[in-house]
Chains A and B, each alone.
Chain A
């Protein structure tokens, strides 16, 4: 595995699981924002393209104690990404300030080592040619490039929105490397009707997420693998936090 990469700016997402209602607005917003074509067979979950997936969690207890939760899962933008070190053609890399793991589609050869290496199932392979039915091509945006069949794609925290935010900062005479809280936000964070998704620079004390990730109720998925994800979850419920990793019964979370 490659070494942990640290940057002056670290874009992180914090998802408050207790606020998530599982409505799926984040998934829908992600699909339109990132030019994900309508799926030929959306019921085949092994072959659907989805960058943001909402999982259902259950405490598996019988009725009156039953409880459930929803967990939206984008790409974790790991500080120590297992997908990057396995790529034979450097189509994916973590080398930009902010720590977003890049995926360059024209360089990808579709070998899918990264898909296998990712412990979060965040990477998907395009099994079909993307086809927009007559009229629907009007929903395409020029901000993200479309992917052909046969390459791997994944969430990139709507990186194009970071580019636009930097351009706006330049036009207003501000420092593009020191964006204000909220100037850059992925579409899922923007659309979430309950405000469950917060986003910002973990290294910047003026950003809300800087404090949020220090909470004892904040956790990351499979933290003990050492991938150092840039996506944090937050829940006051202990059973939810327990599901973040493979804890033994005796362990306290």
Chain B
């Protein structure tokens, strides 16, 4: 008899342990791992879209399509230096950021290593000229930086090295299927 009751308690303990283990694994899988998976990075220069939009600058001045349909995604250091040729010497946060740009990039001529939130693997072909009918922020393609005073945090996948925002293949394919566009492999792969 004593042995039997001891056994029953063992089963109860086992179920308890199992539940603790299950909840623990779920927390690790859903909360701990995803937060460990991504490292956070900041842009080399705290470039503000709103400050520049207030100057009356059009988006196309910095992001434009060439005559042969290629997308010039990010502006060159030279084009920034047209307006920021010299240090401001100001002590404001904005002034300091401009001085940082002038000293580190403007004077040396080096290109700013901007982090692109939507950077795709090199076997993916994407065409901006084919998607001109959409807004930049449609389907979560790009963060709404034009409404932000500071660039959003860039989250990098520690295993793959890609941005968290990089659109997954199923997301591209879902929209193509909905819009009746071809989903042949070579449409997007190279």
Contact = CB atoms under 8 A, between A and B. Distances in A.
Interface of A: 93, 95-97, 100, 102, 104-106, 142-146, 156, 159-160, 163-164, 166-172, 176
Given A145-B123, A160-B125, A168 B69 contact: yes
Contact of B187 (A96, A105, A143, A156): A96
Contacts of A159: 186, 190
B68 A164 contact: yes
Contact of B186 (A96, A164, A169): A96
A105 B123 CA distance: 8
A102 B130 CA distance: 21
Looking at chain B's contact residues, is the secondary structure mostly helix, strand, loop, or mixed? loop
Interface string B176-190: 000000101111011
B28 interface: no
Interface of B: 65-70, 121-123, 125, 127, 129-130, 182, 184-187, 189-190
B185 A171 contact: no
A176 B181 CA distance: 13
B184 A96 contact: yes
B186 A167 contact: no
Nearest to A98: B186
A194 B53 CA distance: 54
Nearest to A167: B69
Nearest to B128: A167
A146 B190 CA distance: 9
B130 A96 contact: no
A24 to B, nearest CB: 25
Contact of A102 (B65, B66, B127, B184): B184
Given A102-B189, A163-B127, A171 B182 contact: no
Given A96-B182, A104-B185, A167 B190 contact: no
